[in-house]
């Protein structure tokens, strides 16, 4: 039997003799299936192709967990180290012995979660490598679970996951889209892990939100305001999205970015 991984989104699927007919994640309007059709891979195949897990420090008690070249959507997994255990946020869609050893040296994994279904990667494999650590999935997104397993637990609303680490449901990109507030991050000024719930712009000085990033489907005003209101109640100075970081002043950047979004969807701007 093989644990199948979608080659486009790098999300693991059940271990079966043959791959599924399609990946429901990529068939949804928020994602995409290549013109060449659905393709599958596996951990063994990826390892044979030279994929490796690399773990590197980003700031004290925060580490990137990544493949050494892009896989699937290509998010940067994050390991947050706390006195009560470590959070693995949005793990890559691959795992190997060296990566397991590197994470074990940092204290292992106490919980696994992600901002939304697109960035769950190989959550179950990472969980199993660390004694069945709980994998938290927003209840509103339960239908998107691709590899059911007893380690999965559902949550909603607001959850103190580990000491100083809080999950907060914002909605938007998915109904269960969430952020994680790490209060000790950024030297105590607070860090927000946003995945695709709030995307940091290429200029590293702006943010945006979307229903679909690859297919350019916007969010309506009411959902943008919900995200803004939810995040506006959190204290943070730094933001790590799925690919980029705003080093400081991030709370103001998020507030201004979402206000700008609302002005554009309402049409309250002049053409230039």
Question: Which pLDDT does position 271 carry in this prediction?
Answer: 79
Pairing between strand 238-241 and 191-195?
parallel
Give me the residues paired with residue 80 across strands: 62, 87
Give tens-digit pLDDT for 131-156: 999 999 999 999 999 999 999 999 99
Strands 85-89, 77-82: pairing kind? antiparallel
Is residue 77 within 8 Å of residue 91, measured between CB atoms? yes
Q: Of 167, 168, 147, nearest to 227 (Cα)?
A: 168
Q: Over the stretch 201-244, which tens digit does the pLDDT of each residue have?
A: 999 999 999 999 999 999 999 999 999 999 999 999 999 999 99
SS3 for 254?
helix
Mean pLDDT by 10 residues, the chain (272 residues): 94 94 97 96 96 98 96 96 98 98 98 98 98 98 98 98 98 98 98 98 97 98 98 98 98 98 93 79
Strand order in the sheet with 2-6: 12-16, 2-6, 40-42
pLDDT for 272: 79
124 alpha-carbon distance from chain centroid:
14
The token pair that represents 76 in the structure block? 């940067």
For 2-19+57-266, give the CATH class: alpha beta
- Strand locations in 214-270, DSSP E? 238-241, 245-246
Neighbours of 108 (CB within 10 A): 17
First-last CA distance in the chain: 58
Output the pLDDT for position 269: 86
Q: What CA–CA distance (Å, rounded) separates 49 from 119?
A: 22
């Amino acid at each position: 039997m093989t644990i199948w991984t979608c080659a486009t989104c790098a999300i693991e699927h059940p271990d079966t003799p043959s791959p599924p007919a399609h990946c429901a994640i990529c068939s949804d309007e928020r994602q995409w299936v290549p013109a060449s059709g659905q393709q599958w891979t596996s951990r063994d195949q990826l390892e044979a192709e030279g994929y490796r897990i690399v773990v590197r420090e980003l700031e004290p008690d925060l580490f990137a967990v990544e493949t050494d070249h892009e896989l699937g959507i290509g998010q940067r997994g994050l390991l947050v180290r706390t006195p009560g255990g470590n959070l693995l946020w949005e793990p890559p869609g691959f795992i190997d012995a060296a990566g397991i050893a590197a994470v074990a040296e940092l204290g292992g994994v106490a919980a696994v979660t992600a901002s939304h279904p697109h960035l769950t990667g190989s959550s179950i494999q990472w969980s199993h490598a660390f004694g069945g650590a709980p994998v938290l999935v927003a209840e509103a997104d339960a239908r998107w679970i691709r590899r059911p397993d007893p380690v999965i637990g559902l949550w909603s609303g607001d959850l103190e996951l580990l000491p100083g680490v809080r999950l907060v449901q914002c909605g938007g990109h998915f109904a269960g889209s969430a952020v994680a507030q790490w209060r000790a991050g950024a030297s105590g000024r607070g860090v927000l892990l946003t995945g695709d719930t709030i995307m940091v712009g290429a200029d590293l000085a702006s943010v945006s939100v979307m229903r679909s990033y690859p297919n350019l489907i916007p969010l309506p005003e009411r959902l943008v305001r919900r995200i803004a209101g939810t995040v506006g109640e959190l204290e943070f100075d730094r933001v790590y999205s799925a690919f980029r970081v705003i080093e400081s002043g991030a709370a103001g950047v998020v507030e201004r970015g979402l206000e700008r979004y609302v002005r554009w969807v309402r049409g309250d701007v002049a053409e230039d």
